[in-house]
Amino acid sequence: MRDVLRSPFVAALLGGLVVAAALIGYDQVRDPDTRTVVEQAPLRSGAPANTSSTADGQSTAGLTPRQIYERDAPGVVLIRAQVVQRSDSPFDLFGPQQQDESTGTGFVIDDDGTILTNAHVVEGAVRVSVQFEDDRLVDGRVIGKDLSTDLALVRVEPDKVELSPLRLGVSKDVKVGDPTVAIGNPFGLERTLTTGVVSALQRQIKGLDDFTIDNVIQTDAPINPGNSGGPLIDAAGRVIGVNSQIQTAQGGTGSVGIGFAVPIDTAKEVIPQLKSKGRVDRAWIGLTTVTVTPSIAKLGLDVERGALIQTVEPGSPAERARMRGGDVQAQVGQDPVLLGGDVIVDIGGTPVRSTEDVATAVSTRKPGENVSVTVVRDGLRVKVRVKLSQRPSVVTQG
């Protein structure tokens, strides 16, 4: 079961603890008056060390969890969102019955008072409050949301609080095994730090509108409900992701060591539009596909690679271009597949070998843009012209 995260400093390097224990025992035998001081080792990634220094004079080659916490925790905030709950009773003519409060995390990204968080933290909120390190609580205003990436921006008046923007890293450079630090407010426990590593890359999770979020970072740093919107930080103290979801055991709600963070590179792409428009404009073609595998190709397809169209959304650009979906159900292993539809092999001059290629080709274009799509239909290569439209808010892939 995968849960969206809605609702004391622990850091230990096992090797360091074993050595420290051995040293302490040795000192006690040799000289009872000798006192051993154990210091935290800096976190290290597999990347070459960058020995440059930050504005506060600290090296970015590798910081200890304590240094990261002291530097970045002041920029991590607790977000309180009041959500109106409506009654389902047919006798309730006046709508709102009560206001519930949900909590999450966010972090400051600039000196203008802009805070990055998850969209699900503030979704449906009628009022947002932001609590800073000094316990000062100020009003926040949601200036933009993107349900497809589960990201949102909240703004506070910069002259009312002391702002400590976090440094943004580059998530495409992250490798499996790199150390991570998560700072957030699990279960309302403010500014909690946990440590771990990057467990996997290229994961996919669903946004609030059921569109897929790609290139997600998986970490084993313990995160729980309330960590939503908080930063996932690398060994140099830079944000590499926004903690968003966790995998839980059946019937559970807590961490089992599998957390997912929206990559900061994705956030960098949407932040400018969220600031200027309050939303992200995305192109939409209106169809679903499956990747043509050797097993699928053997079912009478005339191609070995491509994206086989499964469904075409009524009224979509794909339907207006008379693209065809499948109408004959088949079974490939455990998965049902619809046969008889067009196989997309090229979009805008770029070969298509998978359903991911279709999503990438569409996402890099703008609503209203015309694109040439080559499909294989009844053994023939056919070119169709598709005018992409604005992605709707309803759940439809493509």
Which DSSP helix (H) or strand (E) runs through 361?
helix 355-363
Q: Indicate whether 323 and 342 sit together in one domain.
A: yes
Give pLDDT, residue 97: 55
Q: Residue 41 domain-assigned? A: no
Q: Indicate whether 153 and 24 sit together in one domain.
A: yes
Q: Which CA distances in Å does 43 have to 47, 88, 230?
A: 12, 52, 20
Q: Residue 1 domain-assigned? A: yes
Domain stop point among 228, 246, 277: 277
Catalytic residue among 150, 178, 342, 346: 150
Q: What are phi and psi of 102, to 5 degrees?
A: -115, 150
The CATH number of residue 320's host domain is: 2.30.42.10
Closest alpha carbon to 169 in 45, 13, 8: 45
Please say if 228 is a catalytic residue.
Answer: yes
Q: Indicate whether 304 and 341 sit together in one domain.
A: yes
Helices vs. strands in the chain: H and E counts, helices first: 7, 23
Q: Indicate whether 120 and 166 sit together in one domain.
A: yes
Q: Indicate whether 249 and 293 sit together in one domain.
A: no
Q: What's the rounded Cα separation, in Å, for the pair 188 and 78?
A: 8
Q: Residue 43 domain-assigned? A: no
Q: Which CA distances in Å does 95 have to 81, 227, 241, 323?
A: 19, 31, 38, 44
Q: Indicate whether 155 and 290 sit together in one domain.
A: no
The owner of tokens 């049902």 is 336
Q: Residue 42 domain-assigned? A: no
Residue-number span of the structural domain to which 339 is assigned? 283-390
Q: Residue 89 domain-assigned? A: yes
In tens digits, the chain (398 residues) has pLDDT values of 445 564 433 333 333 333 333 322 333 333 445 454 445 556 665 543 334 444 444 445 578 889 999 999 999 999 999 887 654 544 444 455 566 888 899 999 999 999 999 999 998 899 999 999 888 899 999 999 999 899 999 999 998 898 999 999 999 888 998 999 999 888 877 778 988 899 888 888 888 877 778 889 999 888 888 889 999 999 999 999 999 987 765 555 555 678 899 999 999 999 999 999 998 888 999 999 999 999 999 998 989 999 999 999 999 999 999 999 999 999 988 889 999 999 999 999 999 999 888 988 998 888 999 999 999 999 999 999 999 998 876 544 44
Give the CA dihedral 136, 139, 145, 147, nearest 10 degrees: 70
Give pLDDT, residue 337: 94
Work out the burial of residue 164: count CB atoms within 10 Å of its CB; fewer than 13 is exposed, 13-18 middle, 19 or more buried: middle
Catalytic residue among 7, 72, 120, 178: 120
The CATH number of residue 226's host domain is: 2.40.10.120
pTM of the model: 0.69
Give pLDDT, residue 395: 47
Q: Residue 239 domain-assigned? A: yes
Q: Indicate whether 211 and 357 sit together in one domain.
A: no
Q: Indicate whether 224 and 176 sit together in one domain.
A: yes
Catalytic residue among 7, 45, 148, 228: 228
Q: Indicate whether 269 and 289 sit together in one domain.
A: no
Q: Residue 51 domain-assigned? A: no
Maximum alpha-carbon separation in the chain: 87
Q: Indicate whether 294 and 160 sit together in one domain.
A: no
Domain stop point among 277, 295, 313: 277
- Of the chain, the end-to-end C-alpha distance in Å amounts to 25
Please say if 120 is a catalytic residue.
Answer: yes
Which DSSP helix (H) or strand (E) runs through 15?
helix 14-30
The owner of tokens 């969890």 is 65
Q: What's the rounded Cα separation, in Å, for the pair 220 and 187?
A: 18
Q: Are the C-beta atoms of 272 and 263 separated by less than 8 Å?
A: no
Q: Are the C-beta atoms of 262 and 151 separated by less than 8 Å?
A: yes
Q: Indicate whether 291 and 272 sit together in one domain.
A: no
Domain stop point among 277, 311, 334: 277
Please say if 214 is a catalytic residue.
Answer: no
The owner of tokens 């730090």 is 193
Q: Indicate whether 204 and 294 sit together in one domain.
A: no
Please give the tally of structural domains in the chain: 2
Give pLDDT, residue 326: 95
Give pLDDT, residue 91: 45
Q: Residue 397 domain-assigned? A: no
Q: Are the C-beta atoms of 375 and 362 separated by less than 8 Å?
A: no
Q: Which CA distances in Å does 108 have to 158, 162, 210?
A: 11, 10, 27
